[in-house]
Chains A and B, each alone.
Chain A
Amino acid sequence: MNIALVEYGAGNLPSVERALTRLGVESSRASTPEALADCDALILPGVGHFGALMRSLAERSLVKPLHDAVASGVPLLGICLGLQAMFASSDEAIGDAGLALFPQNVSALPPTDRLPHMGWNQLRRVRPSALLEGVPQDAYFYFAHSYAALDAGEAGVALCDHSAPFVAVLEQGSIFATQFHPEKSGPVGAQVLSNFVRRAGSKQ
Chain B
Amino acid sequence: MSLAHRIIPCLDTDGERVVKGVQFVNLRDAGDPAALAARYNIEGADELVVLDIAASRDHRPTFLETIRRVAAELAIPLTAGGGVATVDEGRAILRAGADKLTVNTAAIRHPELLTALAAEFGSQAVVLAIDAKRVGDHWEAFVRGGSVPTGLDAVAWAHKGVECGAGEILVTSMDRDGMRSGFDCALTAAISRVVNVPVIASGGADTPETFLEVFREGRADAALAASIFHDRIQGLGELKRYLGEHSISVRQSG
Contact = CB atoms under 8 A, between A and B. Distances in A.
B168 interface: yes
A interface, by DSSP: helix, strand, loop or mixed? mixed
Contact of A48 (B46, B100, B122): B122
A201 to B, nearest CB: 22
A119 B77 CA distance: 9
B10 interface: no
B142 to A, nearest CB: 26
B71 interface: yes
A183 B75 contact: yes
Given A114-B197, A121-B4, A184 B76 contact: yes
Given A119-B46, A161-B1, A189-B75, A146 B123 contact: yes
A118 B167 contact: yes
A18 interface: yes
B198 A186 contact: no
B97 A14 contact: yes
Interface residues of B, number: 34
Interface in A14-59: 14-15, 18-19, 22, 47-49
Contacts of B6: 119-120
B94 interface: yes
A101 to B, nearest CB: 22
A186 B75 contact: yes
B72 interface: yes
A11 B93 CA distance: 10
A122 interface: yes
Interface in B101-150: 121-125
Nearest to B119: A49
Contacts of B41: 186
Interface string A89-122: 0000000000000000000000101111111111
A142 B97 CA distance: 16
B196 A162 contact: no
Interface in B233-254: 251, 253
B75 A116 contact: no
B26 interface: no
B37 interface: no
B98 to A, nearest CB: 9
Nearest to A181: B77
Contacts of A144: 77, 99-100, 124-125
B21 to A, nearest CB: 28
Contacts of A140: 4, 251
User: Which residue, of B1, B125, B168, has the highest number of chain A Cβ atoms within 10 A?
Assistant: B1
Given A116-B167, A119-B3, A124-B1, A184 B77 contact: yes
Contacts of B222: 119
B125 A120 contact: no
A187 B74 CA distance: 11
A92 to B, nearest CB: 9
Interface in A126-181: 140, 142, 144-146, 161-162, 181
B95 interface: yes
A112 to B, nearest CB: 10
A36 B68 CA distance: 28
Contacts of A120: 3-4, 6, 46, 251
Nearest to B72: A18
A118 B124 contact: yes
A47 B77 CA distance: 13
Nearest to B94: A11
Nearest to B1: A122
A195 interface: no
Interface string B167-178: 110000000000
A186 B121 contact: no
Contacts of A118: 124, 167-168, 197-198, 221
Given A116-B124, A120-B3, A140-B4, 10 more contacts: A11-B94, A11-B99, A18-B72, A48-B122, A114-B221, A118-B197, A119-B3, A119-B47, A122-B2, A140-B251
6 contacts: A11-B121, A47-B99, A116-B167, A118-B168, A122-B1, A146-B123
Enumerate the 6 nearest inter-chain pairs by beta-carbon distance, A residue then B residue, closest first: A140-B251, A116-B124, A120-B4, A144-B124, A120-B251, A122-B1
